[in-house]
Amino acid sequence: MQKHLMLDLETLSVAPDAVILTLGAVHFDPYSKGIIDELYIKFNIDDQDLLNRSVDPLTLEWWNKQDPKIMEEAFSEEGRTPLVDAIEQFHKFAQGCNKFWSHGAVFDLMIMENLYRQLKKEFPWKFWDLRDTRTLFDLGFSPDMPKGSLHNALEDAKRQAIGVQNVYRQLKK
């Protein structure tokens, strides 16, 4: 069985040094159905301010137009994890994964790489391990992702992993 990781972030900017609100990650096998394991972390924002990570007014404006329930989850102070602990949790979760996916080649994984660099930590992946769902989904096969709460990092990671599994099944036929 292969162990892939799907990563999704909710952030306060679209820049590589964006403040991360939440991280959702799941382990999955692209050749089977279902999620193997999951991780959800709410990052401490003050720790990221100390690193001068970016907040974009346009992104804040975009957040103000989102579902209030999703926005409350992303912005509430409850359950925030100190930055170093959050990275340690993610790094441990990432161990043993064969491939690392995100929805877009230059967003989630790039932001994590930027943060890892700032903290002078080694990435849990090699550059050749990175995968992009948007490119896969553009092949013309329906990802048939379940409906759900958009912009909840964990729910988005689950949906995207299921989309990858659905496309892999169609490609296998």
Range of the domain at 140: 4-172
pLDDT over threshold 80, residue 154: yes
Write the CATH number for 95.
Answer: 3.30.420.10
Task: Quickly state the pLDDT bin for 2 (edges 50, 70, 90).
Answer: confident
Q: Work out the angle between the directed axes of helices 83-94 and 108-118 (0-180°, nearest 10).
A: 120
Query: Global pTM?
Result: 0.95
Q: Which pLDDT tens digit goes with each residue over 47-72?
A: 999 999 999 999 999 999 999 999 99
Asked if residue 148 has pLDDT above 90, the reply is no
pLDDT given at position 114: 98
- Count how many domains the chain has: 1
